[in-house]
Amino acid sequence: MRQLVVTSSCLFALAFTACGGGGTATGDVTGLQAPEQVSIVESDSGGGSSVRLPAGLRAIAGSDYETDPTRFWIRDDSMQALDTVNMILNSLKQTNYWQQTNAGAYRALVEQDDRGGGERGNTGPTFEEWVVESTRADNSSPQVVKFWIEQTESMGEEQASTIYGKLTVTEESTDAQPLGQFTLYFKNLAQTENHDSTDTMFEGYLRTVARNDGQSEVEFYMSHGDVGGAVANGEYAVRERCHVVGNPNTDTGRAYAEKAFAMNNGGGTQLDSAEYQLQFNSDYVARREVSNGNALAVLDRNDYETRVFRYGLYDATTEDRVEQMSGFPVEDENGRYGWAGFEGVWFPENVTLVDGQTIYRRNFGNNTRTPYTLVIAAGKLQKRTRASITLGDLVNEEMEYFSPNGGGEQRVMFTGSDFVRTASRVNGQWQLESTPVSIASSFTTNQWCNFWSQARGSVEFSWPASLSTGTAAFVWSNTTITADSPELASGDLTLNGYFHMLRANLTQNQANFANSETPYFTDATAVNSGNQTYVFDRETMLLTLGGNPVKLGTGVTITQGPGMWGLNCGPLFATALTGFNEIPNQSTTYEWSIGTNPWNQLRTLKDANGAFVQFDAPIRMTYVHDEDGSPFDGRTFFLEYDGMGIRGIPHEQVGESGHWYPLFNIPTGTTVTSGNTSYKIKQLEGEQFMVEVGSPSTVYAAQGFDIDGTPISAPDGDPYEDPAIGQKPEVVGAPLYVGGVAQSSDG
């Protein structure tokens, strides 16, 4: 089955592309919008005058499913220099600055998107606070957008810093000028520096260059230090730059791109750089890698590999977009922002939270705050409801496994007939096996096995007498237990453990697996030998063993080992087993987690009546992949939709960039089910990779390319200007936008 890609009208088959326009009036002044993405080249299928889906997928005219736009960006190694600026432009879009023209400074929570893989997480979304001020004197003047971003790290270093940025939009995009006319200046300063300091951690600009010859031109430059010189011990230098000149009418042009990073870790300066000259027409992109002996490649603009990162979910009957109340923004007494939702309560790392403190949800309509009580416990109990797959659904999917009784952390895989180890974690780093090693002999018949899949979450099964693709396995959906949960209606909850059982009041050695000590008991050898009986206390919200809490002991810290990510106890059973052969029949189990990370702890809210706030749980949907030739063809997945995106698709980390990419795409128009309800899925955003032709020199000559004859110039730092936007203003009030979505005025 061919994977269908639907592209939106806001992408142009031009030298570069942009989405923008359609500003919103504030009083008599209409805001201008800059592009949200810049590419050197764009897909040939990106044109069109309508956002309507192809005929075979259309249903209800004007529905959310039909009109929600789909955007795909072209990606290539030569275009990595634009990653930083596209992150800024896309994040700026989430602030909706054109809708807040002349409305004063405000806050927005921008969701962080690192292309990090659709993983089943239990931390919820991650946000970054932006303070934005957007002004325009009148409808003949430029739009000026000032923004401030406070960060806990910069350039990979854990140092608090602030990004200062100034965007000036003179003209919005048109067919003749797809980027419009704008400038963007930005710099990053350590928070110990004054706002007017020139001692930057990086600085740069993105700008369009005015022309009168029918061509479009854009330049990007970002730097710190001198990548061409010697870098001091412990220091770094970086330079990223790009220059594109093209004709939007003929879809032809030339480009230059460079990304260079130098670092001295004590062994002298190490330089990693890539430099390219490019030329393109409507069918091909010719690329010379200057930093690699001018190696030639020719890319086909009509042949793409597509990776979809974001999907929308719609009611299959009405085609309305599915809305989830997965959470809302909150703030503490000092006005520091956070997020409360189904996965817990999140605040920046530098904000200390304590059990019982008051936090607030702001009402935008009357600028009042609704108080809630924060509840924090040293662990979290989750009810786990299973769904069935087989080991055949897992063939050649990497999973992680940890043996509490020895063996450490491993990456493992079911080959179809054997379980093998592909890597082991040594000193915090994964060490690959040169040849996969069978670990089947490590397990015994009926042993309950627990693995972690990046896409599927916990994968569990009872070790069979003989491995086969038909062996039953299970994946789980989780619901956090609070005092209001039905399980605790009659009081404390007794739970029975047989495998992976945590001790109470862990010592320093136990929590860190030090001196041959472990936080776990040895697995039970029978249902009445080596088993443990736990009690979940309704008042303290802690799991106990013999009356003692199952948590880190007083003053215990975790500094090494798998406990850095948390420690889990389970599966736990509400009814005692009479035999291990009953385990595969248990559709509900419980799991207790502890640790120093927020996701290892219960963090939730109580309202003024003392009731726990109920957030919408992710919608869990059954999906069977259908793609001839794909290794995932016919396999079953259980996807989750949390109102912001779909999780549960396997990803892989590719190349030195560290980007995570999905291993398959779900076609637009796919119908999935959750219980008795059906939904439609639509591709909304992704990247496309042009396929290299087999005979680059032949195509290069046939297309009349001449990169060497007229190479394009490399931008320099001269056009850079300090944003000069002053100190970040103090803003009172909750964020107006979260992940680009305007927050309602409900308290």
pLDDT attached to residue 6 = 27
Of 177, 188, 171, 186, which is closest to residue 221 (Cα–Cα)? 186
Burial 615-645 (b: 16+ CB within 10 A, else e): beebbbbebebebeeeebeebbbbbbbbbbb
Residue 484 placed within a domain: yes
Determine the Cα–Cα distance for residues 622 and 674; give it in Å rounded to an integer: 7
Residue 11 placed within a domain: no
Determine the Cα–Cα distance for residues 391 and 461; give it in Å rounded to an integer: 9
Residue 667 placed within a domain: yes
Rama region for 482: left / alpha / beta (φ>0; ψ in -120 to 50; rest) = beta
Pairing of strands 671-674, 677-692: antiparallel
pLDDT attached to residue 125 = 58
Residue 687 placed within a domain: no
pLDDT attached to residue 4 = 27
Residues 196, 254 within the same domain:
yes
336-369, pLDDT tens digit by residue? Answer: 878 898 888 988 877 899 999 999 987 655 567 8
pLDDT attached to residue 18 = 41
Determine the Cα–Cα distance for residues 314 and 681; give it in Å rounded to an integer: 6
pLDDT attached to residue 702 = 97
* Segment holding 664, helix H or strand E: none
Residues 152, 217 within the same domain:
yes
| DSSP 3-state percent helix, strand, coil across the chain (nearest 5) | 10, 45, 50
Residues 665, 533 within the same domain:
no
> Residue 242, class by beta-carbon neighbours within 10 Å (0-12 exposed, 13-18 middle, 19+ buried)?
buried
Residues 338, 256 within the same domain:
no
Residues 512, 536 within the same domain:
yes
Residues 433, 523 within the same domain:
yes
**CB neighbour list of residue 125: distance below 8 Å, 6 or more residues apart:** 111, 112, 339, 341, 346, 644, 739
Residues 99, 234 within the same domain:
yes
Residues 633, 587 within the same domain:
no
Q: 296: which 2 tokens?
A: 């030639």
Residue 446 placed within a domain: yes
pLDDT attached to residue 451 = 92
Q: 235: which 2 tokens?
A: 């220091």
Determine the Cα–Cα distance for residues 555 and 553; give it in Å rounded to an integer: 6
Q: What is the dihedral of CA 462, 468, 469, 474, to 10 degrees?
A: 0
Residue 17 placed within a domain: no
Of 416, 451, 420, which is closest to residue 436 (Cα–Cα)? 420
Given a contact cutoff of 8 angstroms between Cβ atoms, the answer to whether 234 and 33 are in contact is no
**CB neighbour list of residue 368: distance below 8 Å, 6 or more residues apart:** 362, 747
pLDDT attached to residue 155 = 64
Given a contact cutoff of 8 angstroms between Cβ atoms, the answer to whether 18 and 36 are in contact is yes
pLDDT attached to residue 655 = 62
pLDDT attached to residue 680 = 96
486: containing domain: 380-600
Residue 321 placed within a domain: no
Hey, what amino acid is at 574?
A
Residues 159, 256 within the same domain:
yes
C-alpha 385, offset from chain centre? 25
Q: How many CB atoms lie within 10 A of CB 566?
A: 18
Q: Looking at the DSSP assignment, which residues form a beta bridge with residue 543?
A: 536
Residues 148, 251 within the same domain:
yes
* Segment holding 595, helix H or strand E: none
Per the listing, tokens 């248990």 go with 586
Ranges in the chain, pLDDT < 70: 1-27, 40-56, 58, 81, 85, 113-126, 154-157, 363-367, 404-407, 655-658, 744-747
**CB neighbour list of residue 407: distance below 8 Å, 6 or more residues apart:** 442
622-641, pLDDT tens digit by residue? Answer: 999 999 999 999 999 999 99
Phi and psi angles of residue 474, each rounded to the nearest 5 degrees, phi first: -140, 145
Which DSSP state fits 554?
Answer: T
CA angle 533, 535, 539 (to 5 degrees): 170
Residues 238, 213 within the same domain:
yes
Given a contact cutoff of 8 angstroms between Cβ atoms, the answer to whether 243 and 232 are in contact is no
Number of domains in the chain: 4
Of 488, 533, 456, which is closest to residue 119 (Cα–Cα)? 456
Which DSSP state fits 49?
Answer: S
Residues 50, 155 within the same domain:
yes
Q: Looking at the DSSP assignment, which residues form a beta bridge with residue 186?
A: 165, 204
Can you spell out the DSSP letters for 417-433?
S-EEEEEEEETTEEEEE
Hey, what amino acid is at 339?
W
Given a contact cutoff of 8 angstroms between Cβ atoms, the answer to whether 532 and 545 are in contact is yes
End-to-end Cα distance, the chain:
48
Residue 483 placed within a domain: yes
